[in-house]
Structure 1
């Protein structure tokens, strides 16, 4: 299970948390939670959908905790994410990708999640709906708003 889904889940998480070490921590928590809950997997959906849901919940939980810690220390979350992004060697030399990531950072968490799942993972809305427990219509609207915000950001840059 780990070998099959590790890379896809890592990048799903990494696009949200941006920092390699944080993504690895969240990924490890995801697989630990999946392993502990394997007996409860009913097979109502594909195992990949179930794992994406766990990874998504773990990622959002991690981001909420990080935001709470930063609120206590009065740091600007978006500014810190931008600094981490600019320091990331993954984006060295790829100015277009860096600008796109800067635009994506400005999105609210849920819109960022929907945008990443649709734009990068090319995930069908129906599968996203199962993972996020949200209607297809709401996901389409969220993606449309996110894409417009990203486009506006890129035009201004």
Structure 2
């Protein structure tokens, strides 16, 4: 792919996918500033890897792969640096409500806190299935995991979220 083709591809990807990718990241990292940083890193990787778009993957799957792994890397780095455990941080809902970019109510903030309390893989699977309405086959390709394992992760995540919401009402 020559530079002109690469630029055209990139210029079509950014406006088409920015918002979807941002919200997929935001649901993982929760913080607006972190989500913006991750999105920028994703587009840098897209630019440098645009020659590697695999024929077996759709463009959206290829982008979400960058998206999810970059967001998970940010979470891992934050945990290593701050040694924070989300169960010790009961202020997820409070910090979201104070975030100028969060436009939900208290119930939405509690839902996000419940989702944040999930292990990383369950959180990603839940977000991709529930919010992004991805098919299990797409998530399977994205995360290199069997559809059966994804269905189990989603089911367990829903049970945990339901229990969390009942406990905090």
**TM-score, length of structure 2 as denominator length:** 0.85
State whether structure 2 residue 123 is matched by structure 1 residue 151: no
* Counterparts of residues 92-131 of structure 1 (less than 5 Å): 94-131=105-142
Per-residue CA distance 1:130-150 (angstroms, 9 max, x = gap): 111111000000000000000
CA distance in 2, matches of 1:143, 1:14: 19
Please state how far the C-alpha of 1:85 moved relative to its aligned partner.
2.4
- Bigger radius of gyration: 2
Q: Which runs of 5+ in 1 are unaligned?
A: none
Aligned residues: 154
Please state how far the C-alpha of 1:91 moved relative to its aligned partner.
4.2
State whether structure 2 residue 28 is matched by structure 1 residue 16: yes
* Counterparts of residues 67-106 of structure 1 (less than 5 Å): 67-71=79-83, 75-78=84-87, 79=89, 82=92, 84-91=95-102, 94-106=105-117
Give the match for residue 50 of structure 2. Answer: 38
Q: Which runs of 5+ in 2 are unaligned?
A: 1-12
Give the match for residue 140 of structure 1. Answer: 151
Q: Which of 40, 50, 53 is residue 65 of structure 2 equivalent to? A: 53
CA distance in 2, matches of 1:31, 1:90: 21
Query: What is the RMSD of the two structures over their aligned residues, measured on CA atoms?
Result: 1.7
CA distance in 1, matches of 2:97, 2:141: 33
Higher RCO (C-alpha under 8 Å, 6+ residues apart)? 1
Please state how far the C-alpha of 1:76 moved relative to its aligned partner.
4.2
- Asked if the contact 1:18–1:84 (Cα under 8 Å) also holds between the matched residues in 2, the reply is no
- Asked if the contact 1:67–1:77 (Cα under 8 Å) also holds between the matched residues in 2, the reply is no
Cα distance 1:149–1:35, how it changes in 2: closer, same or farther (>3 A)? Answer: same
Per-residue CA distance 1:86-145 (angstroms, 9 max, x = gap): 422344561221121111111111111111111111111111111111110000000000
Q: Which of 57, 62, 78 is residue 66 of structure 1 equivalent to? A: 78
